[in-house]
């Protein structure tokens, strides 16, 4: 299982809403257009495929950043902190 930071910039409101709803099924929203998703290889491939269908490649962008355990330990949050922890068993897709 890998923790991914998923960020997007999507122009069309309806597409952005669909992307957000799909990502909510896979992970936790940590900012308006940023999610933390825990997925194995198969789940990640399935999510990427579903998301790619929702994008307009001429103007939208989606980024996936895999975070190692070391990177996860070094995350610093300033300001409002989410009231949750992500564990491997949090999401079963």
For 28-74, write each residue's pLDDT tens digit.
999 999 999 999 999 999 999 999 999 999 999 999 999 998 888 88
What pLDDT sits at residue 84? 57
Q: Is pLDDT above 70 for 78?
A: yes
What's the token pair of residue 35? 């999610």
Question: pTM of the prediction?
Answer: 0.81
Is 32 within 8 Å of 25 (Cβ atoms)? no
Rounded Cα gap, residues 6 and 22, in angstroms:
12
- Please state whether beta strands 27-31 and 34-39 pair in parallel, antiparallel, or not at all (unpaired): antiparallel
Rounded Cα gap, residues 13 and 35, in angstroms:
18
CATH topology of domain 2-73: Alpha-Beta Plaits (3.30.70)
């Amino acid at each position: 299982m890998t923790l991914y930071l998923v960020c997007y910039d999507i122009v069309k409101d309806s597409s952005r809403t669909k992307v957000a709803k799909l990502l909510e099924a896979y992970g936790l929203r940590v900012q308006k257009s940023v999610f933390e998703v825990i997925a194995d290889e198969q789940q990640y491939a399935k999510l990427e495929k579903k998301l790619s269908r929702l994008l307009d490649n001429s103007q939208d962008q989606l980024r996936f950043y895999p975070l190692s355990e070391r990177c996860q330990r070094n995350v610093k949050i300033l300001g409002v902190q989410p009231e949750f922890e992500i564990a491997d068993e949090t999401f079963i897709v």
